[in-house]
A = this chain, B = another copy of it.
Amino acid sequence: MSTEAGPQLVHPTPAETAMLVGQGLADDALITLFGRCRVEYDGRATSTLGPGDRHVMLKPDGAALVHTDEGQQPVNWQPPGCEHTVAVESETVVVESERSTPAESLRITFEAVVHAAAFDVTDASELSLTGTESDLRERILDDPDLVEPAFTPLATERSTPAGAVDIYGEDDDGRTVVVELKRRRVGPDAVGQLSRYVGALERDLHDDTEVRGILVAPSVTDRARELLAEKGLEFVSLEPPGE
């Protein structure tokens, strides 16, 4: 059976729009609206957006997205789990989306709706993604010599007082090694992260043997390299498998 088209309206009246959106919300449909609107948001921050043409999407999981003609990111949004409502106020369509923890509300006021639609969505497929940090970890566990000859991984995600280290192991001389993985070129933040783990382990183990810290990533910025040197940490260039 072919996919059914849901209701579609072009230049609907406020009442028609509210009817379609209300029914779409009841049916757990994916709803899209396009038209001239204003947007107000209040919650973790506060924002207002004056009149303009935007695309609005209401998802059945409670997410809301307001897109302008530019940018990958929505200009306003609400995360999944929100309650959407629609109403007609003074001849304008008002879409609201709210949640309570944290208290956040989004209010979209349409002065003109150009298009409204509700779609029934069936999507059983999951995204398959390769080239992640997890893939880089598997690559190293398969061949620890990629870090250095005779490196021996002992644990992954080993917890320390400063957080979990990506790979915990020891070198040819039996010294403790902390490996921090990054799937792409790294800056100073990754050095700080590795440094925290090394420091925490040195305090935790509090034996005399030093703890080595190795950052594994495709490359580092100049500043990150300086920070590595200052803190006595090491760098190994390695990329996640490319498929």
Residues of A whose CB lies within 8 Å of any CB of B are: 2-5, 8, 10-11, 30, 32, 34-36, 42, 44-55, 57, 59-61, 63, 65, 67-72, 75-77, 79-80, 112, 114-115, 117, 119-132, 161-163, 183-184, 188-189, 192-193, 195-196, 199, 223, 226-227, 230, 240, 242-243
Q: CA A34 – CA B8 in complex, angstroms?
A: 12
Complex interface: chain B residues within 8 A of A121 (CB)? 53-54, 68-69
Pick from B49, B77, B114: contact of A3, CB under 8 Å:
B114
Number of chain copies forming the complex? 2
CB of A119 within 8 A of CB of B53, answer: yes
For A49, the chain B residues whose CB sits under 8 A away are 125-128
Residues of B within 8 A of A42 (CB): 243
**Complex Cα spacing A121 to B243, Å:** 38
B3, B11, B61, B128: the one within 8 Å of A71 (CB):
B61
